[in-house]
Structure 1
């Protein structure tokens, strides 16, 4: 049976905790849902759960761990990108997205690497204000060592880890 799946990159515990605290505080203050900090490598993948896991294993076998760095805080017009921290582009990150599209035979449009900090249908001025109040430690970065397969739904409560697959030589 075909459903939709998503491939995530999850920060390690120390960075995850920093982001979880921000997500929780913003969610409480501005009435947004809680969700696990993550960067979506590829979303809206139509396939069976088994295919999602098997193809992610193929992708991970050809992808070495790499560093990603968090950048500036920004905001957008969509619910799931209300306020977010940009991920600085690198060749490794962009190549991983291209490989994922190839493995899953998808032609997704734009890849804008980011980690959301709050979801919601907030007014643009409020999004701008929220973005300006968020303060993260300088130079946050981490090594991506695995990909996580999750269901792609509109409810963060459904976003469970169906599989966690190490990248090549990752541990």
Structure 2
């Protein structure tokens, strides 16, 4: 049996589910998803690496190892932006910190995933809407209703095969504290 699978995985930083920041972000994601027919509801997250192809048990073990060596991360946002891709339709850019880039580097060494340039961000809506609409949505978001930063309290391995409605968190490992 080959170690490769037909599944695609992603490694995400997730804010604590009980935090005000998580609630504010989830409310915005849900509100935008309800406004646009092709927009799914998803969990607030900052992708560390996407497009991972590998064996699930090994990836879960790597996720645990990476989380054990990582303290909870404070990530700050830098306004609201939009782009041309579905998964970065409208998003909050994350200011890259040394800690974040170090986790990304460690993860890249431990697992193969997307080698695309890394632009850390937290998406607010996934959609194929037109560019003018993306711009208008980005402009319409009241940043006062969103947190200026989040504390990522877990590292999650997510099966991101297929449509977003089928995405599944396989393991979410708490980071080793402040």
Q: Same fold (TM over 0.5)?
A: yes
- Per-residue CA distance 1:81-110 (angstroms, 9 max, x = gap): 111111111111111111110111446121
Q: Which residue of 1 aligns with 2:25?
A: 19
> How many angstroms apart in 1 are the aligned matches of 2:101 and 2:75?
11
Q: Which residues of 2 match residues 33-44 of structure 1 at below 5 A?
A: 33-44=40-51
Number of residue pairs aligned between Structure 1 and Structure 2: 170
Q: Which residue of 1 aligns with 2:163?
A: 155
Shift of 1:50: 0.3
> Which secondary structure does the structure 1 equivalent of 2:134 belong to?
helix
TM-score, reference length from structure 1 = 0.91
- Per-residue CA distance 1:121-152 (angstroms, 9 max, x = gap): 11111100000001133662222232011102
Task: Name stretches of at least 5 consecutive residues in structure 2 with no aligned partner.
Answer: none
Task: Name stretches of at least 5 consecutive residues in structure 1 with no aligned partner.
Answer: none
Q: Which residue of 2 aligns with 1:4?
A: 8
Moved over 4 A (4+): none
1:111 aligned onto 2:118: yes
TM-score, reference length from structure 2 = 0.87
